[in-house]
Amino acid sequence: MFEVQRLGMVAYQPTWDEQKNIVRSVDEGKIADQLLLLEHPHTVTMGRGSHLSNLLLSTQDYKAKGINVVEIDRGGDVTYHGPGQLVGYPIFYLGDQKHDAHSYLRDIEEALILALSSFGISGERMEKHTGVWVNEEKVAAIGVKFHKARNKKGYITSHGFALNVNTDLRYFSTIVPCGILEYGVTSMSRILGKKVDMDMVMNEVEMAMREIFT
Amino acid sequence: MTIDIVMPQLGESVTEGTISRWLKKPGDEVEEYEPICEVETDKVNTEIPSLYNGKMGEILAQEGQTVAVGEIICKMEVESETVSQAVESDKPISKTQERNEADTSMKHRYSPAVLRLAQENQIDLTKLSGSGKGGRITRKDVLHAVENKSAVSIPAKNVTAPVEKRKVKETPPLEILVEDKIVPVSSIRRTIAERMVKSKTEIPHAWTMMEADVSGLVALRNKYKNDFAANGIPLTFMPFFIKATVDTLREFPYVNSVWAEDKIVLKKDINISVAIAANDALYVPVIHQADEKNIFGIARSLQHLIHKTRNGNLGIADTQGGTFTVNNTGSFGSIASQPIINQPQVAILSFESIVKKPVVIDDMIAIRNRMNLCLSLDHRVLDGLTAGQFLARVKERLESYQVDTAL
């Protein structure tokens, strides 16, 4: 069973540091698995698989627009975080399971698809493109890191998913999200044509995560 | 002594990984289970631990380089006795799910993924008990049911068949009673109707049927079914039918051709149209360049097209360019059908139900799995001989599958 922390709006860098602390505590068995639910201010993150060409503005331009650019250690290419986007960081100990990275991704997708279904949205997977899609537009991005547990067998996860709830999608035009040119991004509010209550989304996501991961 | 460290297998379906960062340099001391590098596969960045105490040696795979599973990524200096430890190969342990017998409030809330999975495998969700919260049926429940299928499968029933009823010459004025229900013709239904009439009136259809012994294929499919399901891909017979058809089409270019009035165009690509019924309409999306795919590739493409069809997401490209059509009429219990050719193609092949039958082999009576293959052909392009030879080769290929055939 994991515990949920709802952190509200928090800056990227301190949250990332906090994730690393939690990974350590989970590894040492001091605390239970944690699921962090939060929002970030405008931030562009570059995963390990990033190509600089997928950043469409110069560093100065991003700064001028009030967007932080951070280079980080998750898998995947460039992505954008910002207000109205629900970010989830599951810090889970994947102990005795075979460290099958991809089945973990599929499980996160499944949880998000389940949560979206509560709002009448049919999320889908797209072959070769991790994430959750609605009509060939990405509504949720996923990128994770598997930390080798120091004190036991297996892995501990960090980073996670970003679900566009009421995200201002114009910010995505400053990057090539995940390096994928041919498909667009969307949000729950765009699909439903109205603003969506973030607390309700957090409730559904939490429930769906519990269903898939416990 | 020096040992080779190889790219580990990071998941069942993962064949390669990209070195995202080296955490140790040559000469660094490394403890057992200490991460030596990070490897990226898709959206996961994984720390790779050393299995030994020792010292880092030469690095052979550079950061950014993509390396196949099993290839050497670096060398390590270790004390000789430590090497005897075998590489861990822990089996995945399925999480035991808490079952909540009393609370079934969520039993009838299905996620789209669950619905799709059930549909594809013809699982009757109402007969499952859910292990999720409030009795909700999860994907794992359905996958589990697929493995023990017979108990909960939906009996084959009224799926729209691609066979249009023939029109009577002079229709008497239609009598409509008050009790009769009137359904407006949807645009997709109208398109289907027009295309069927055009094909049936323009093409001189000829028809031929052969019976194949697919006992070996049945055994082979049952053997691999669970492996495929574990990768999220339902393995039906369809990929095998398509593979046999595609391999045979390469030998018979005229069957993979188009009638263009003053010429016959033998198509270079083999693009297989697949008849898929969904929401009371029939779609024939296309597996392009099907001759470049193996069974797994065909199964994946098929699953993808079925998803798109059932969700109404087929793009124009998905439905264009077909050069030959296959039809899995057996899936709804048919044992013979006369399919209508999908213009401008020149033939269509139906695979009928697999039925256990007594057959005579070497003067003994055996129980074998038999299946009819029904071919409709455009007699302007094809004659009985070519069509017969073609069908006989498809049959031969299906019969050559045995339980030990490598996929």
**Contact between chains at A48 and B20 (C-beta distance less than 8 A):** yes
- State the DSSP code for A52: G
pLDDT at A92 over 90: yes
Structure-model confidence comparison of residues B184 and A19, the more confident one: A19
pLDDT at B163 over 50: no
Alpha carbon distance B225, B220 (integer Å): 9
CA distance B240 to chain A (A): 21
Confirm whether the ipTM is greater than 0.85: no
- Catalytic one of A67, A108, A116, A178: A178
Summarize pLDDT for B141-156 with one digit per residue, the tens: 777 777 776 555 554 4
pLDDT at B119 over 80: no
**Contact between chains at A101 and B14 (C-beta distance less than 8 A):** yes
Mutate which of A102, A112, A158 to test chain B, going by most B C-beta atoms within 10 A? A102
Give the orientation angle of helix B112-121 with respect to helix A101-117, to 10 degrees.
Answer: 110
**Contact between chains at B300 and A98 (C-beta distance less than 8 A):** no
| Average pLDDT over chain A, rounded to an integer | 88
Asked if B394 and B248 count as a contact pair (C-beta separation under 8 A), the reply is yes
pLDDT at B157 over 50: no
pLDDT at A35 over 50: yes
| Average pLDDT over chain B, rounded to an integer | 82
Which residues 64-103 of B have a C-beta within 8 angstroms of A? 88, 90-93, 95, 98
B164 pLDDT tier (thresholds 50, 70, 90): very low
Question: What is the DSSP track for A117-179?
Answer: HTTT---EEETTEEEEEETTEEEEEEEEEEEEPSSSSSEEEEEEEEEESS--GGGGGGB-GGG
CA distance B187 to chain A (A): 21
**Contact between chains at A75 and B44 (C-beta distance less than 8 A):** yes
Is residue B13 within 8 angstroms of chain A, CB to CB?
yes
Structure-model confidence comparison of residues B111 and A180, the more confident one: B111
Which of B33, B45, B111 is closest, CB to CB, to A74? Answer: B45
B93 neighbourhood in chain A, CB within 8 Å = 96-97
Residue B263 φ then ψ, to 5°: -155, 165
Which of B11, B18, B40 is closest, CB to CB, to A100? Answer: B11
A177 pLDDT tier (thresholds 50, 70, 90): low
**Contact between chains at B38 and A73 (C-beta distance less than 8 A):** yes
Residue-level pLDDT at B165? 44
B21 neighbourhood in chain A, CB within 8 Å = 48, 73
B274 pLDDT tier (thresholds 50, 70, 90): very high
CA distance A163 to chain B (A): 15
CA distance B353 to chain A (A): 30
Query: Could you confirm whether A201 is annotated as catalytic?
Result: no
pLDDT at B322 over 60: yes
- Taken in order of first residue, the domains within chain B and their CATH numbers are 2-84 (2.40.50.100), 97-155 (4.10.320.10), 187-400 (3.30.559.10)
Alpha carbon distance A86, A8 (integer Å): 10
Alpha carbon distance A115, B166 (integer Å): 48
Alpha carbon distance B56, B3 (integer Å): 10
A48 neighbourhood in chain B, CB within 8 Å = 20-21, 38, 40, 45
Mutate which of A146, A186, A207 to test chain B, going by most B C-beta atoms within 10 A? A146
Q: In chain A, what are the domain boundaries?
A: 2-213
- Cα-to-chain-centroid distance, residue A190: 19
Residue-level pLDDT at A150? 85
Alpha carbon distance B395, B364 (integer Å): 22
Is residue A3 within 8 angstroms of chain B, CB to CB?
no
Structure-model confidence comparison of residues B394 and B63, the more confident one: B394
Q: Which of A152-161, B193-202, B247-256 has the highest mean pLDDT?
A: B247-256
Percentage with pLDDT > 70 across chain B: 84
Summarize pLDDT for A201-213 with one digit per residue, the tens: 999 999 999 988 8
A113 neighbourhood in chain B, CB within 8 Å = 111-113
Summarize pLDDT for B33-63 with one digit per residue, the tens: 888 999 887 778 888 888 888 999 999 998 8
The CATH class given to the A2-213 domain equals alpha beta
Task: Calculate the dihedral angle through the C-alpha atoms of A188, A192, A196, A198, rounding to the nearest 10 degrees.
Answer: -30
pLDDT at B158 over 60: no
Residue-level pLDDT at A96? 59
Summarize pLDDT for A150-169 with one digit per residue, the tens: 888 888 999 999 999 999 98
Question: Mean pLDDT throughout B286-300?
Answer: 92
Residue-level pLDDT at A13? 93
Is residue A152 within 8 angstroms of chain B, CB to CB?
no
Who's near B407: CB < 8 A, 6+ residues apart? B220, B224, B294, B295, B296
pLDDT at A54 over 90: no
B95 pLDDT tier (thresholds 50, 70, 90): very low
Nearest residue in chain A measured CA to CA from B31? A150
Residue-level pLDDT at B87? 40
Active-site residue numbers of B?
A: 379, 383
Nearest residue in chain A measured CA to CA from B66? A49
Is residue A20 within 8 angstroms of chain B, CB to CB?
no
Closest CA to B402 of B210, B192, B240, B251: B240
**Contact between chains at A48 and B40 (C-beta distance less than 8 A):** yes
Residue-level pLDDT at B93? 36
Residue-level pLDDT at B237? 93
Alpha carbon distance B74, B48 (integer Å): 12
B311 neighbourhood in chain A, CB within 8 Å = 122, 124
Q: Which of A63-67, B175-179, B205-209 has the highest mean pLDDT?
A: B205-209
Alpha carbon distance A117, B113 (integer Å): 10
Mutate which of A145, A157, A159 to test chain B, going by most B C-beta atoms within 10 A? A145
Mutate which of A46, A122, A147 to test chain B, going by most B C-beta atoms within 10 A? A122
Is residue A114 within 8 angstroms of chain B, CB to CB?
yes
Residue-level pLDDT at A98? 54
Structure-model confidence comparison of residues B356 and A65, the more confident one: B356
